Structure formats: C-alpha cells, structure tokens
C-alpha cells in the first residue's frame, strides 16, 4: 500500500487541477474517480461546460448561416443534423477527457477508478465497480466530489419527457416545444440553444427577472432579447404540477402579478428542470469525522478550504462558493498550496467572473449597481451599447451593452457587467483590472485596439466619467 | 441616512481649499443649495452650498483646515430632525474616524500634492546596485486605488504600511486598516518628513526678524493674501516695469452715461464708468495686439482672445475676475458682465476659472479718490492700467487757451519694457483717451 501526500476524490475541474498542482508541487498524489470508464473531467467536462458549449457552437453557427443572406453569404437550406451534432459533441468531450488522462500520466498521478470515501484518519477507501475495495493511505485528502442535478420533489423525472441537464444533453431530436424551469445560467443556456435549433421555447422563472443574480439592467435586457427572439418568458411564475405521458407534458403554471396569482396549463413536448444543483456529499464517509455538512449538503470550510477534520480539504461544488468550474480549480490550487505550506492568499470571491452562455451572452464580475449601493458605496455607473461599436456592427450583433459600476469617491471599479457578443471573453479585462485594484481611469487610459468589441469596455469607462466618445 | 459632503472641486486648477467659516451649527437643518461653509483658495473665496438637504451632524474640518478636494468635510443626516444628532452606526463611525483623519491629516500634510505622493510612492528604495528587487517594486508600486487613497490622506510613504498583497504589496484593505488604526496620524506627528512635503521654493521675502511685543499679535496670512504677496514680488522680479501717465477728459463719457443710464437700467444693468473704460481698453487692445501679448522665454505670444481682468477690492484682499472676449461685447454686454462678476466676487460666488485667462488688467480704484496709482503687472500679462478718481479739474484747451472745468481722470499704465516701449504704450493710452473723450 502506497503512502500518498495528497489523495483527491473527484476528477472535475476542482479535483484534477488540484491533483496536477499537487504533483507539480512535489507531493505524491492520487486521484479517485467513480465514473465507470476512465472518463476524467467531472461534470464540467462530461455534462456541463464543455458539451453545452459544443451544442451552443452549433446553435451559433446555425444562426449565423441563417442570417448569412443579410451579409451576403447565401447558404441555402441550412439545417441541423442532431445526430452529427451529437457526434461532434462526443468528440469534443472525449478529446478533453483524454487530455485529462494524459495530464495525470504526465504528472505521475495515480488514478484509482471507483467510489472514494474517507475511511478513518489518513485513509481513503476506494470501492471499485466490481465491488472490490482498496484502501489508500494519505496525509491529506481533498474532497472534490462536485454536484448533481437538483430535482424538484413534486416532479417525476421521466427519461423521455421530463429531463434534467444531464438527460437533455443526449437528445436525439429537437423538441417541438421545450419548457424550461429556471432562468439561471443552465436554464437560459439550454433555452437559447434549443430556440435556435428550432424548438418553441417557454422559460419559467420564480424570481421576478431572468438571470436574477445579475445586475437589474442586464436581466431586463436579456429578457427583452429572449422575447424578441421568440421565446415565451414567464417570470414570477412557478410550476405547481406536472403530468407526463408518452404524448407529452402538461403542467400548471402560477404567475404572480402584484397581489394577484393567475394560473394556466401549458402543454409541451418536453420539460427541462434546471432549478439548480445539489452537492454530492451523501456518501463520502463523513460519518465519524469532524466534517461539518449543513442541511443543504454543503461542506463548511475556512478561507484555505480546510474542513473541520484535520488534513481534509473540500473544494468546488460541495462548498458554499460560486459553483463554477474556474472557482473549483482556483480552490483546488489554494488547498494544495496550503497543504504544501506555501502561505497562499485566500480567494477574493468578489472577483469571480460569472458567465452565462445564453444568447446574447452575459458576464459579470464584482458588484451589481444595487449590491454596490447596499454595500454603502456612493455609486456611479457608465453604460455603453454595442450598437455604437463598429466591430459589433460588422459581426451583425449589436444587442446589449457594457455597464461599469464604480465608487464615486475614488473611482474604484466595483463591477463590470456585460451583455452582448463575446461577453464571456470580454469580462476578463474587468476581472484583471479589479484584481489589480484599478480605478476607472486605468481602464480608460488603456489603449483598446480598433475595431474590437473590447472598445465597449473603454467606452463604458468614458461614460462613467461622463464623457463617452462615440455616442 | 448619513450622507457625506466633500470639499468641492472649485475649478480645474484648484486642488484644495481652506475652510474659513462654518455657516451652520451641528444640529442645524440645511436646505439643499443652502450655503454650508466658506472656503478660500488661492484664487477665490467661495461659499459652498450643501449638495443635499438634511441635518448637519458632523463637521470634519475645523476653520483653518486646508483640505484637498473630494475629502469629506461634513456629514448630513437626511432623515434626522432639527437638533437631532444621531450617533454614527459602528460602521459609519469607523468611516467617520477615517474621514476625520483625512481632514486633519490633510491639514497638517496639506501640501502633499498628488504628484509628489505618487512620485514618492513610486520611488522604490534601491537595493543591490540601485536596481530595486521585484519585491520592492511591487511593494512600493502598489495599486492605482491605493495610490489614490494615499493621495487623499496625504500618505506619501507606502512602505510604512504592512502589505498583504503579492510580495507584500499594499492593498486597499491594508491602507484602510492603516488609516483607521490612526497609525497614519501618529506617523505624521512623530515624523515630520512623512506626509509633509516642502513647499515649492518661492522667492523668499527677506524676513525682518520681528520681535513681537506684548501688545502685538500674529494672524495667519490666509491663502489669498499669500498668493497676492507672492505674485507681486514675482512680477516685480520678472517684468521691467515702466510707466506712462495720461489725463483723460470724461465729459463725453458723462454725457453718454447720462443719456444711456435709464435705458440700461430698464434692462436691469447698472452702467458704470468701468464699463466705458473696459470698452475703450478692448478697442485699444485690438488696435495694438502687442499690448495683449505675453512674453514666453524669448518669444512673444500674441493672444487671440481679448480677456480683460477687472480688479475688485474685497474686504481683506483683491480679486481680478476676467471679462472674456470683451472685444465681441457691446457696452451693454460689458456692463452686464462686470456687474455680475463684481457682485459675485463680493458675495464669494465666483468660480476659480473665472479669475483665470486674463490678457490685460484694468484696476479702477478711482472710487477711493486717489489722483492716480502705479500698478504692478499681473503676470504673465504685458501691461496694466490703474485709474485715478474722476474729479473736476481745471483744464486748459490746447487750441484756444481757454480755461475750463472738466471731469477728468488720470490713468497710469505700467508696461513691461521688455516687450513694449514708451511710444507704443503712449499710443495705446492715447487710443483709449480718444475713445473716451470722443464718446458718442
Ligand atoms: C449544464 C451545465 C453547464 C455548466 N456550464 C458551466 C460553464 O460554462 N462554466 C463554468 O464555470 N461552470 C459551468 N458549470 C458548472 C461546473 O460544471 C461545475 O461548477 C464544476 O464542474 C464543479 O467542479 P467540481 O470539481 O467541484 O465537481 P464536478 O465537476 O462535479 O466533478 C466531481 C467529480 O467527482 C466524481 N465523484 C463524485 N463523488 C465521488 C466519489 N465518492 N468518489 C469518486 N469520485 C466521485 C464525479 O463523478 C465527478 O466526476 C456547468 C454545469 C452544468 C450542469
């Protein structure tokens, strides 16, 4: 039995990045993954970020070609071939999973396939598919078991009609009418994909706005755009009853307007439940340890990702920080640096870029206007629309805007909010600027190449100072 | 809700102001736009109106404190009732404490100009061979936000702060903690060199080495007085002052004024002699552009605009608001501008930018009755006119030898002999004389 410095349970973007960083730091490392075959990469790679973005790319291409005649590209009979799309998506996923495997080998990380559990001080047990057990001995454990789809208790999931985000990824045909519960990142993404694949789409959200955690102006713009594209959007609405059979799904939707609640029945071909994710912490051997797991299943950690149990760290979707791949990876690196005794800096969660790959894309970092006001800042904002940006016109994508939220006192950058083309790429500028504690002036002094979409960021900075140039 | 009032930016070039009076007491209700306190800058005195309505709950600057712009000087409570002074919530108390530090800090280290603070902050202590290490660079470089906060609080040396950022870089949290701990003030108290920057060197007037007696007392000079003192000495040291003096007959102006006064008054404009003089000066400046020029090294800079500064005496000082593009104004326009500027100068409502950019100056102090005065040039201008009282004097008609009683004033022009000679100066003044004596 080998003695490890670090055993990582779970090979998602939290786990596998932690393992690589650990090995690179000179620590003897193993990773445990319970996916039946050697498919490393976790939710992100197999059922999350990567496959959805492949589907999205197909949707983008489809839309671009359909609108091709507007810019002189006559692509006749543009059509979607779901089977080919699935094959392409499968290739992308497989290529990336292979990449993770290769990185494990390259960094001499032992991969143990099976279900991992804490098994007493300094021990991790691995239960293989065939039921055989193996115990690993280790000085430190990093729990990175991730999350699964959250199901609403009153809705029976049926593989044909009522789907979660895992199941919808495997769709062989385009749903005729897709109803999506939940207008967060996952829900709006699939809604945007299938709308462009040709489905009729109805998006239902309990909160009064779509993307409720985004800045209110961004939420409003997104809703406006979804509706313009032909989506039905019901906010302040909840599904209270669902009946599914081979023919389709029937559901009751209650919508609140002021004090009044109205009810309607919607019939659709498919229902996607995208009401959230749940941490996977039921079966990790927490019993008898000092791990604190709260009623939502979340593991409590300190600023260095340490759990209550000495030598056990937790990262990614099982802790109460933004559930995003890049957060999981950063937390993995932080945990390893702490294990390696490097005196790392805790993560500043205010600077996590939030990305939603709906169409138009939405990305933000820092505080929304409202949150900044609530935090007591004297807020000023600068908004600049993509419609006034040359590159956006060239790309035929002029929807959306960039919004800067800043503090009047020092012009401190408090938040950057983008809705529009390539928002998820553009947000990095704001993230870096805020990491460096820049003020608006630095953004505005930075020369932005022309013509690019990034000019919108500089212009928003000008606007925040009261002198936008191109409007 | 507590709301902070900051030292306003009073003009492009003004970076700080001295609080000269509080117009409201703690607990007083203040309306929006109602004067809250008075400040003086090296350019103007001004009343600062309150940006919001509320009850004054804190005054963070004392009379006499010099405070950089955007520093918090007062806190209003928008919900409190008259006389009510709600205590700051713990969090805002901390904030207020920080602000207090800001104002007092700014007072003692007032002259820590932004540029100097940044320069100091950016000058790393050289290590081996004078090349700063990466650590030193990062540490002393700090972040833009921190530099801004440091500047506002007059902290020139960031290396005194423990940095928690990369390689010990000072972050916002670090500097805020430093300020809130009061370490900032202590540092200034014990070590005069931190935070306090030497004044830019001025030609130091020789100190007479006064020994104050028992019945003497000192009073601080005040920024405006100090600025005037400095400007006058510098002007004397810069320009070759020469003078020419002309007597001008104001009979025609008297007649014209009598004729037009009522009409002007109907339009709400008081027609003063100064307006006539400014008009005549403007016409002469157009005829003699060199008098409207400035010397820059060995080049003469001819100014396209004719902007005439009109000196206005205040209680304890003097201010020179500028009438811009005078040559484009009618007598009515000139009179209206002068009335407006003079009125606002006396009620402390001028903006600093309104006292800048003059190309020529007229000092009409005749109202006090002097025969004439000899003015000092307002740099970087080339000439200045000072007018004596308009008095009835005995005048001999040069053609008929007739002796007449006429209202005249004696004008003295001081001009920079480096740029114009006596002939030009006299022709210029003669132009003015002809305009005024032949007014129609
Ligand atoms: C549809 C969808 C789209 C998404 N898109 C994005 C996006 O665009 N950008 C983004 O940043 N995030 C996205 N996310 C979120 C992102 O996928 C997660 O935040 C991220 O994967 C979390 O990483 P993790 O390492 O914590 O866990 P996971 O990626 O969930 O990985 C956990 C791994 O642990 C394994 N495991 C669990 N328990 C055990 C055990 N007991 N023993 C052994 N192995 C175990 C699991 O099989 C899994 O492979 C998306 C999520 C979904 C569902």
Q: What is the pLDDT of residues B222-246, one digit of tens each?
A: 777 888 888 888 899 889 999 999 9
CATH of the domain at B157: 4.10.320.10
The pLDDT confidence band at residue B139, using thresholds 50, 70 and 90, is: low
Mutate to test the pocket of ligand 1, among A7, A8, A10 (most ligand atoms within 8 A of CB): A10
In a domain, A155, yes or no: no
**Residue A428, by phi and psi: left (phi above 0), alpha (psi -120 to 50) or beta?**
alpha
> Are both A57 and A107 inside the same structural domain?
yes
Nearest-CA neighbor of A34 among A129, A126, A115, A147? A115
> Are both A241 and A331 inside the same structural domain?
no
> Are both A293 and A367 inside the same structural domain?
no
> Are both B323 and B410 inside the same structural domain?
yes
CB count within 10 Å of CB A443 equals 26
* Domain final residue pick, A252, A275, A298: A275
pLDDT at B351: 82
Cβ-based neighbours of A409, under 8 Å, separated by 6 or more: A377, A378, B70
Determine which one of B327, B340, B417, B426 is catalytic: B417
Residue of chain A whose Cα is closest to the Cα of B153 = A410
* Beta pairing, strands A110-113 & A29-33: parallel
- Shortest Cα–Cα distance, A318 to chain B (Å): 28
Mean pLDDT of B252-256: 95
pLDDT at B81: 82
In a domain, B190, yes or no: no
Say yes or no for a CB contact (<8 Å) between A437 and B143: yes
Q: Is A215 on the interface with B (CB under 8 A)?
A: no
Residue nearest to atom 5 of ligand 1 (CA): A49
* Domain final residue pick, B77, B107, B130: B77
> Are both A371 and A440 inside the same structural domain?
yes
To 10 degrees, what angle do helices A185-197 and A49-66 make? Answer: 40
Say how far apart CA B48 and CA B356 lie, in whole Å.
20
Q: What is the DSSP letter of A293?
A: B
Residues of chain A with Cβ-Cβ distance to B163 below 8 Å are: none
> Are both B72 and B170 inside the same structural domain?
no
Say how far apart CA A44 and CA A324 lie, in whole Å.
9
A469 phi and psi angles, rounded to 5 deg: -85, -50
Say yes or no for a CB contact (<8 Å) between B145 and A410: yes
In a domain, B304, yes or no: yes
Say how far apart CA B184 and CA B192 lie, in whole Å.
12
> Are both A19 and A80 inside the same structural domain?
yes
Say yes or no for a CB contact (<8 Å) between A345 and B166: yes
Say how far apart CA A179 and CA A205 lie, in whole Å.
11
Burial class (CB in 10 A: 0-12, 13-18, 19+), B407: middle
* Structure tokens given for B21: 């009076």
In a domain, A154, yes or no: no
Q: How far is the CA of A18 from the centre of ligand 1 (A)?
A: 14
Residues of chain B with Cβ-Cβ distance to A378 below 8 Å are: 4
List, for residues B142-160, the tens digit of each pLDDT value. 788 898 888 888 888 787 7
User: Cβ(A360) to ligand 1 under 6 A?
Assistant: no
Bridge partners for B248 per DSSP: B409
User: How is A181-208 classified by DSSP, letter by letter?
Assistant: E--SHHHHHHHHHHHHHT-EEEEE-SSS
> Are both A204 and A223 inside the same structural domain?
yes
The residue whose two tokens read 């197909």 is A58
Range of the domain at B300: 241-438
Length of chain A: 471
Q: Please check whether residue B235 is in contact with residue B379, taking contact to mean a CB–CB distance below 8 angstroms.
A: yes
The residue whose two tokens read 């920079």 is B416
Sign of CA dihedral B60, B97, B72, B104: positive
pLDDT at B134: 56
Q: Hey, is A94 helix, strand or coil?
A: helix
> Are both B422 and B333 inside the same structural domain?
yes
Q: Please check whether residue A23 is in contact with residue A17, taking contact to mean a CB–CB distance below 8 angstroms.
A: no
**Residue A208, by phi and psi: left (phi above 0), alpha (psi -120 to 50) or beta?**
alpha
> Are both B280 and B428 inside the same structural domain?
yes
User: Cβ(A127) to ligand 1 under 6 A?
Assistant: no
CATH of the domain at A448: 3.30.390.30
In a domain, A355, yes or no: no
Say how far apart CA A426 and CA A401 lie, in whole Å.
12
* Domain final residue pick, B77, B100, B131: B77
Say how far apart CA B374 and CA A123 lie, in whole Å.
98
Residue A90: in which H helix or E strand, if any? helix A82-106
CATH of the domain at B9: 2.40.50.100
Q: How far is the CA of B56 from the centre of ligand 1 (A)?
A: 55
In a domain, A228, yes or no: yes
pLDDT at B88: 59
Q: How many domains does chain A have?
A: 3
Residues of chain A with Cβ-Cβ distance to B149 below 8 Å are: 410
In a domain, A157, yes or no: no
Nearest-CA neighbor of B415 among B378, B364, B390? B378
Q: Is B166 on the interface with A (CB under 8 A)?
A: yes
Q: Is A441 on the interface with B (CB under 8 A)?
A: yes
**Residue ranges of E strands in B286-390:** 293-296, 299-302, 308-310, 312-313, 318-319, 322-323, 360-364, 383-387
Nearest-CA neighbor of A226 among A200, A248, A206? A200
> Are both A133 and A16 inside the same structural domain?
yes
* Domain final residue pick, A295, A330, A349: A349
In a domain, B202, yes or no: no
In a domain, B250, yes or no: yes
CATH of the domain at A188: 3.50.50.60
Q: Which of residues 85-114 of B touch A (CB under 8 A)?
A: 91
Residues of chain A with pLDDT under 70: 1
Say how far apart CA A266 and CA B279 lie, in whole Å.
82
How far apart, in Å, do the first and last CA atoms of chain A sit?
69
Say how far apart CA A222 and CA A233 lie, in whole Å.
11
Q: What is the ipTM of this complex?
A: 0.70
Q: How many domains does chain B have?
A: 3
Residue B144: which of A345, A409, A439 has the nearest Cβ? A439
The yes-or-no verdict on residue B92 having pLDDT over 50 is no
| Helix, strand, coil share (%) of chain B residues, nearest 5 | 35, 20, 40
In a domain, B273, yes or no: yes
Q: Is B73 on the interface with A (CB under 8 A)?
A: no
Distances (CA, A) of A199 to A162, A178, A193: 16, 6, 9
List, for residues B358-384, the tens digit of each pLDDT value. 999 999 888 889 999 999 999 999 999
Nearest-CA neighbor of A378 among A403, A405, A346? A405
Q: How far is the CA of A278 from the centre of ligand 1 (A)?
A: 11
Nearest-CA neighbor of B234 among B26, B380, B394, B97? B380
Distances (CA, A) of B333 to B278, B284, B330, B351: 11, 18, 5, 20
> Are both A222 and A296 inside the same structural domain?
no
The residue whose two tokens read 């925040």 is A464
Mutate to test the pocket of ligand 1, among A145, A298, A314, A321 (most ligand atoms within 8 A of CB): A145
> Are both A133 and A254 inside the same structural domain?
no
User: Cβ(A356) to ligand 1 under 6 A?
Assistant: no
Mean pLDDT of B168-194: 70
> Are both B396 and B289 inside the same structural domain?
yes
* Domain final residue pick, A349, A384, A406: A349
Q: How far is the CA of A102 from the centre of ligand 1 (A)?
A: 19
Residue A260: in which H helix or E strand, if any? strand A260-268
User: Among A267-281, B24-38, B122-136, which range has the highest average pLDDT?
Assistant: A267-281
Say how far apart CA A442 and CA A455 lie, in whole Å.
14
Say how far apart CA B293 and CA B381 lie, in whole Å.
7
> Are both A9 and A120 inside the same structural domain?
yes
Q: Where are the alpha helices (DSSP H) in B123-199?
A: 134-141, 144-152, 172-180, 183-190
Determine which one of A57, A448, A450, A470 is catalytic: A450
Q: How far is the CA of A349 from the centre of ligand 1 (A)?
A: 19
User: Cβ(A10) to ligand 1 under 6 A?
Assistant: yes
In a domain, B64, yes or no: yes
In a domain, B320, yes or no: yes
Residue B117: in which H helix or E strand, if any? helix B114-122
Active site (annotated) includes residue A151: no
Say how far apart CA A137 and CA A188 lie, in whole Å.
44
> Are both B178 and B245 inside the same structural domain?
no
> Are both B273 and B402 inside the same structural domain?
yes
Cβ-based neighbours of B293, under 8 Å, separated by 6 or more: B300, B301, B302, B303, B382, B419
pLDDT at B89: 52
Range of the domain at A316: 4-149+278-349
* Domain final residue pick, B51, B77, B103: B77
Residue A410: which of B4, B91, B148 has the nearest Cβ? B148
Say how far apart CA B143 and CA B169 lie, in whole Å.
8
pTM, to two decimals: 0.62
pLDDT at A42: 96
- Shortest Cα–Cα distance, B187 to chain A (Å): 23
List, for residues B94-114, the tens digit of each pLDDT value. 444 444 333 333 333 333 333
In a domain, B125, yes or no: no
User: Cβ(A13) to ligand 1 under 6 A?
Assistant: yes
> Are both A130 and A250 inside the same structural domain?
no
Residues of chain A with Cβ-Cβ distance to B4 below 8 Å are: 378
To 10 degrees, what angle do helices B144-152 and B172-180 make? Answer: 20
The pLDDT confidence band at residue B87, using thresholds 50, 70 and 90, is: low
The yes-or-no verdict on residue B138 having pLDDT over 90 is no
> Are both A96 and A202 inside the same structural domain?
no
In a domain, A471, yes or no: no
> Are both B176 and B269 inside the same structural domain?
no
> Are both B304 and B379 inside the same structural domain?
yes
* Beta pairing, strands A277-279 & B318-319: unpaired
Peptide bond into A208 cis (omega under 30): no
Say how far apart CA B103 and CA A109 lie, in whole Å.
59
Helices (H) and strands (E) in chain B, counts: 11, 19
User: Cβ(A32) to ligand 1 under 6 A?
Assistant: yes
């Amino acid at each position: 039995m080998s003695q490890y410095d670090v055993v990582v349970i779970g090979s998602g973007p939290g786990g596998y990045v932690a393992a690589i960083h650990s090995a690179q730091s000179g620590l003897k490392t193993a990773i445990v993954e319970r996916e039946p075959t050697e498919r490393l990469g976790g939710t992100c790679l197999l059922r999350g970020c990567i496959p959805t973005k492949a589907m999205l790319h197909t949707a983008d291409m489809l839309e671009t070609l359909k609108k091709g005649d507007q810019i002189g590209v006559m692509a006749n009979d543009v059509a979607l071939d779901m089977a080919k799309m699935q094959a392409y998506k499968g290739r992308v996923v497989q290529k990336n999973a292979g990449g993770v495997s290769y990185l494990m080998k390259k960094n001499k990380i032992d991969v143990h396939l099976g279900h991992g559990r804490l098994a007493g001080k300094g021990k991790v047990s691995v239960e293989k598919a065939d039921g055989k057990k193996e115990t690993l001995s280790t000085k430190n454990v990093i729990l990175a078991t991730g999350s699964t789809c959250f199901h609403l208790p009153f809705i029976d999931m049926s593989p044909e009609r009522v789907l979660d985000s895992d199941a919808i990824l495997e769709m062989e045909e385009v749903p005729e009418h897709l109803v999506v519960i939940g207008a967060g990142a996952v829900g709006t993404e699939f809604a945007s994909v299938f709308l462009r694949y040709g489905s009729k789409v109805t998006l239902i959200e309990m909160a009064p706005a779509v993307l409720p955690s985004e800045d209110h102006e961004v939420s409003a713009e997104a809703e406006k755009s979804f509706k313009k594209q032909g989506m039905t959007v019901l906010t302040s609405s909840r599904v209270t009853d669902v009946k599914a059979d081979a023919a389709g799904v029937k559901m009751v939707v209650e919508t609140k307007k002021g004090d009044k609640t109205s009810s309607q029945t919607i019939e659709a071909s498919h229902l996607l439940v995208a009401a959230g994710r749940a941490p996977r912490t039921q079966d990790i051997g927490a019993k008898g340890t000092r791990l604190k797991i709260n009623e939502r299943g979340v593991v409590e950690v300190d600023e260095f990702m340490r759990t209550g149990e000495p030598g056990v760290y937790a990262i990614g979707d099982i802790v109460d920080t933004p559930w995003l791949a890049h957060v999981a990876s950063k937390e993995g690196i932080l945990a390893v640096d702490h294990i390696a005794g490097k005196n790392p800096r805790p993560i500043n969660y205010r600077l996590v870029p939030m990305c939603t790959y709906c169409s138009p894309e939405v990305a933000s970092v820092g505080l929304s206007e409202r949150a900044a006001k609530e935090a007591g800042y004297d807020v000023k904002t600068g908004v600049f629309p993509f419609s006034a940006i040359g590159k956006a016109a060239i790309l035929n994508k002029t929807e959306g805007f960039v919004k800067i939220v800043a503090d009047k006192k020092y012009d401190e950058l408090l938040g950057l909010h983008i809705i529009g083309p390539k928002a998820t790429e553009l947000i990095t500028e704001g993230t870096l600027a805020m990491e460096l504690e820049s003020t608006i002036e630095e953004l505005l002094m930075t020369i932005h190449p022309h013509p690019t979409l990034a000019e919108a960021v500089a212009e928003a900075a000008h606007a925040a100072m009261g002198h936008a140039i191109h409007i | 809700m507590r709301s902070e009032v900051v030292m306003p930016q009073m003009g492009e070039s003004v970076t700080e102001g001295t609080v000269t009076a509080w117009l409201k007491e703690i607990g007083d209700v203040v309306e929006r736009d109602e004067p809250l306190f008075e400040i003086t800058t090296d350019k103007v005195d001004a009343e600062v109106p309150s940006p919001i309505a509320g009850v004054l709950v804190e005054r963070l600057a004392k009379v006499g404190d010099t405070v950089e712009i955007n520093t918090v000087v007062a806190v209003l409570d928008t919900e409190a009732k008259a006389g009510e002074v709600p205590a700051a919530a713990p969090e805002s108390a901390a904030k207020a404490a920080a602000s207090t530090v800001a104002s007092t800090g700014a007072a003692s280290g007032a002259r820590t100009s932004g540029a100097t603070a940044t320069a100091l902050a950016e000058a790393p202590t050289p290590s081996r061979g004078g090349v700063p290490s990466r650590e030193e660079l990062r540490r002393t470089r700090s972040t833009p936000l921190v530099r801004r906060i440091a500047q506002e609080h007059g902290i020139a040396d960031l290396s005194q702060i423990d940095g928690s950022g990369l390689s010990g870089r000072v972050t916002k949290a670090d500097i805020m903690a430093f300020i809130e701990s009061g370490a900032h003030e202590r540092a200034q108290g014990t070590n005069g060199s931190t935070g306090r920057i030497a004044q830019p060197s001025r030609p130091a007037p020789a100190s007479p080495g006064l020994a104050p007696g028992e019945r003497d007392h000192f009073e601080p000079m005040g920024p405006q007085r100090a600025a005037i003192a400095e400007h006058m000495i510098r002007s004397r040291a810069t320009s070759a002052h020469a003078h020419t003096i002309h007597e001008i007959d104001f009979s025609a102006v008297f007649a014209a004024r009598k004729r037009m006064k009522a009409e002007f008054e109907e339009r709400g404009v008081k027609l003063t002699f100064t307006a006539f003089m400014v008009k005549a000066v403007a016409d002469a400046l157009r005829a003699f552009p060199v008098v409207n020029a400035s010397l820059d090294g060995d080049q003469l800079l001819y100014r396209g605009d004719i902007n005439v500064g009109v000196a206005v005496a205040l209680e304890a000082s003097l201010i020179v608001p500028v009438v811009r593009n005078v040559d484009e104004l009618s007598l009515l326009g000139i009179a209206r501008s002068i009335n407006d500027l003079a009125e606002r100068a006396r009620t402390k409502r001028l903006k600093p930018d309104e006292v800048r950019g003059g190309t020529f100056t007229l000092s009409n102090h005749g109202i006090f009755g002097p025969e004439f005065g000899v003015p000092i040039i307002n740099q970087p201008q080339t000439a200045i006119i000072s007018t004596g009282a308009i008095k009835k004097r005995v005048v001999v008609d040069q053609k008929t030898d007739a002796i007449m009683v006429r209202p005249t004033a004696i004008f003295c022009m001081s001009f920079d002999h480096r740029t114009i000679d006596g002939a030009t100066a006299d022709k210029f003044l003669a132009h003015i004389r002809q305009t005024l004596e032949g007014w129609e």
